């Protein structure tokens, strides 16, 4: 029996998760929901503040009550709800350092309650990548650590925490983005490890997340040569069908990483990438931030045409739609959304965060030294996953400009992504030359040379740092 193009179109849009431009709901999103659109994803550019976000989500729910509303709310460096002001959660790397799975679960459930209060029912978190490459430009402090079993325990705790409050979790980036030194937002990374290493390291946290009942798993735009030497995971049946569905037994929704990333679509364009992802086994396609109506319609047409021509089997498309529809039904928004939870208290942290800091001998000497303690924060370019979110001591009013450092003060110079060429090192040398006792604070994943490492730059981490260094808010 031939399926009409109208029916194929409804199937196609049932697999799509576009972003959109602006801080209000575009008319085309409302129209496409009526035509079967499965999901939308909110990004930092869609958020001005809590009241505006609440209104945006209420408008979405009014126009599209069954829509899956997704967001990358990892906690720590990557936040969308708190994009203008900085995350109220410590983030994976510091939670991993503290190594208390109950604390990780509590942090995740706090995130879940906040999402549920806005009517958001899909959290594109946690990151379960094992950060085995210190120079990794995109994972870093988003990871629970560099040991697979350690990451696995915390990944399962995070999944349990988010889903315990009725929000779907999504473990990412399968089969692993931790052993790369290339950001897939900009290019196509490749992981060259033997199959037994991949199985014991990269796949172990995904096994744990699956055992914890994770609803979704997100693909990576990474070529993993031990499985498929030619195609990125997002477009590889060997990765998605043979390994994820077959060997690991995952039966939930496979979500593509954003298809506007260079690692996915730089050579083919987003519409072709969408078709390839569905053919390979993805169920829900994240089209990327600031999706335009024109781009969205081009993707729809490409998927319809691929299905009509037989390149994308109708059965594969129907299977994807059915999985997404089941997810939406199971994690449907509760009628009482918006009632509470939008501003989670931080009291549960109980001052524990400092215990996860890495503190060198120079810091102890600096704390004992005379002089007024001040913090100078040096600008550090973020990766595209993090964006321009507020971070570090500056986000909580703890910093002094270098030119305003008073005579006799002792200085902590803070930054993140501290490669050898980072401008922070010049600032620190300059302050030392002026006679200031000076230490270097890395607010991210350590790359060597820092005296103190916080393993994250969220506002709660910055507040803990300020208390530890004795620097009061300005």
Rounded Cα distance, 272 and 285, in Å: 12
Supply 389's token pair: 């979110």
Pure H helices in 182-292:
195-200, 203-211, 237, 262-265, 270-280
Q: Name the region of 471 (left: φ>0; alpha: ψ -120 to 50; beta: rest).
A: beta
356 & 286 share domain? no
117 & 147 share domain? yes
129 & 158 share domain? yes
Taking the mean position of all CA atoms in its chain, how far away is CA 134? 18
32 & 119 share domain? yes
401 & 297 share domain? no
325 & 376 share domain? no
Active-site residue identified among 177, 185, 221, 436: 185
Kindly report the CATH number assigned to the domain that includes residue 306.
3.20.20.300
Sign, CA dihedral 59-83-180-465, equals negative
315 & 452 share domain? no
Rounded Cα distance, 234 and 17, in Å: 15
SS3 content of the chain, % helix, strand, coil (to 5): 40, 15, 45
Note the pLDDT of residue 465: 96
Taking the mean position of all CA atoms in its chain, how far away is CA 345? 22
Active-site residue identified among 72, 129, 257, 260: 257
- Identify whether 339 is part of a domain: no
Domain boundary among 330, 362, 388: 330
The pairing of strands 223-224 and 285-288 is: unpaired
Domain boundary among 330, 364, 391: 330
Rounded Cα distance, 388 and 184, in Å: 18
Taking the mean position of all CA atoms in its chain, how far away is CA 474? 31
Q: Which helix (H) or strand (E) holds 175?
A: none
> Please, which residues have CB within 8 angstroms of residue 142's CB and are 6 or more apart in sequence?
74, 76, 77, 78, 91, 92, 93, 127, 129, 131, 385
254 & 379 share domain? no
Supply 356's token pair: 């996860």
Note the pLDDT of residue 349: 59
Supply 471's token pair: 């620097």
Q: CA dist 146 to 122, 178, 388, Å?
A: 27, 8, 26
- The parent domain of residue 271 ranges over 5-330
- Identify whether 338 is part of a domain: no
Q: CA dist 351 to 98, 280, 444, 454, Å?
A: 12, 46, 19, 14
Tell whether omega for the bond before 175 is within 30 degrees of 0, i.e. cis.
yes
The residues with which 414 forms a beta bridge, in sequence order, are 377, 441
- Identify whether 341 is part of a domain: no
- Identify whether 20 is part of a domain: yes
Domain boundary among 298, 330, 362: 330
451 & 302 share domain? no
- Identify whether 43 is part of a domain: yes
pTM: 0.94
Note the pLDDT of residue 1: 44
Note the pLDDT of residue 120: 97
315 & 369 share domain? no
The tally of domains found in the chain comes to 2
Examine the residue annotation and report whether 183 is marked as an active-site residue of this protein: no
325 & 356 share domain? no
Which residue's structure tokens are 């995952």?
250
Over its length of 474 residues, how does the chain's per-residue pLDDT go in tens digits? Answer: 457 999 999 999 999 999 999 999 999 999 999 999 999 999 999 999 999 999 999 999 999 999 999 999 999 999 999 998 999 999 999 999 999 999 999 999 999 999 999 999 999 999 999 988 777 667 889 999 999 999 999 999 999 999 999 999 999 999 988 777 665 566 667 888 889 998 999 999 999 999 999 999 999 999 999 999 999 999 999 999 999 999 999 999 999 999 998 878 888 999 999 999 999 999 999 999 989 999 999 999 999 999 999 999 999 999 999 999 999 999 988 755 565 554 444 545 556 899 999 999 999 999 999 999 999 999 987 767 788 889 999 999 999 999 999 999 999 999 999 989 999 999 999 999 999 999 999 999 999 999 999 999 999 999 999 999 999 877
Supply 127's token pair: 């990151």
- Identify whether 456 is part of a domain: yes
- Identify whether 232 is part of a domain: yes
Which residue's structure tokens are 């993140």?
416
Contact 252, 217 (CB under 8 A): yes
Burial 3-18 (b: 16+ CB within 10 A, else e): eeeeebbbbbbbbbbb
Supply 370's token pair: 């005379």
115 & 188 share domain? yes
Task: Assign 128 to helix, strand or coil.
Answer: coil
> Please, which residues have CB within 8 angstroms of residue 261's CB and are 6 or more apart in sequence?
184, 185, 221, 288
Burial class (CB in 10 A: 0-12, 13-18, 19+), 339: exposed
DSSP state of 78: B
> Please, which residues have CB within 8 angstroms of residue 327's CB and are 6 or more apart in sequence?
68, 122, 168, 215, 216, 252, 253, 284
Examine the residue annotation and report whether 257 is marked as an active-site residue of this protein: yes
What backbone phi and psi angles, to 5 degrees, belong to 74?
-80, -25
- Identify whether 377 is part of a domain: yes
Task: Give me the DSSP letters along 314-363.
Answer: HHHHHHHHHHHHHHHHHTPPPTTTTSS-SS--SGGGTTGGGGGSEE-HHH
Note the pLDDT of residue 187: 60
């Amino acid at each position: 029996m031939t399926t009409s193009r109208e029916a194929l179109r409804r199937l196609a849009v049932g697999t799509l998760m576009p972003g959109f431009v602006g801080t209000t709901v575009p008319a085309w999103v409302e129209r496409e929901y009526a035509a079967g659109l499965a999901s939308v994803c909110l990004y930092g550019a869609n958020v001005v503040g809590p009241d505006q976000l609440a209104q945006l989500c209420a408008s979405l729910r009014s126009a599209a009550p069954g829509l899956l509303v997704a967001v990358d709310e990892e906690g720590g460096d990557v936040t969308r709800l708190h994009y203008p002001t900085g995350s109220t959660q410590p983030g994976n790397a510091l939670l991993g350092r503290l190594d208390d799975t109950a604390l990780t679960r509590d942090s995740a459930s706090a995130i879940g309650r906040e999402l549920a209060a806005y009517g958001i029912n899909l959290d594109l978190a946690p990151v379960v990548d094992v950060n085995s490459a210190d120079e990794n430009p995109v994972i870093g402090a988003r990871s629970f650590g560099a040991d697979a079993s350690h990451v696995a325990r915390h990944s399962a705790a995070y999944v349990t925490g988010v889903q315990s409050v009725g929000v779907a979790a999504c473990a990412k980036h399968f089969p692993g983005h931790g052993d790369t030194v290339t950001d897939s937002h900009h290019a196509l990374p490749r992981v060259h490890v033997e199959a037994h290493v991949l199985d014991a390291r990269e796949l172990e946290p995904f096994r744990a997340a699956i055992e914890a009942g994770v609803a979704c798993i997100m693909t990576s735009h990474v070529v993993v040569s031990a499985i498929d030497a030619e195609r990125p995971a997002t477009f590889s049946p060997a990765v998605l069908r043979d390994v994820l569905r077959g060997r690991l037994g995952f039966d939930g929704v496979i979500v593509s990483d954003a298809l506007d990333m260079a690692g996915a679509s730089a050579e083919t364009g987003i519409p072709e990438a969408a078709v390839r992802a569905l053919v390979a086994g993805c169920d829900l396609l994240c089209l990327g931030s600031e999706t335009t109506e024109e781009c969205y319609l081009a993707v729809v047409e490409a998927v319809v045409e691929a299905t009509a021509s037989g390149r994308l089997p109708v059965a594969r498309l129907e299977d994807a739609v059915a999985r997404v529809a089941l997810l939406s039904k199971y994690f449907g928004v509760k009628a009482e959304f918006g009632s509470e939870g939008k501003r989670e208290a931080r009291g549960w942290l109980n001052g524990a965060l400092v215990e996860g800091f890495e503190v060198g001998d120079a810091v102890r000497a600096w704390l004992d030294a005379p002089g007024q303690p001040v913090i100078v924060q040096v600008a550090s370019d973020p990766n595209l996953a993090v964006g321009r979110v507020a971070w570090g001591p500056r986000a909580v009013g703890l910093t002094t400009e270098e030119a305003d450092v008073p005579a006799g003060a002792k200085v902590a110079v803070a930054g993140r992504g501290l490669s050898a060429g980072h401008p922070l090192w010049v600032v620190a040398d300059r302050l030392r030359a002026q006679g200031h006792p000076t230490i270097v604070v890395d607010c991210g994943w350590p790359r060597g040379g820092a005296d103190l490492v916080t393993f994250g730059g969220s506002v709660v981490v910055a507040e803990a740092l300020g208390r530890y260094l004795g620097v009061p808010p300005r």
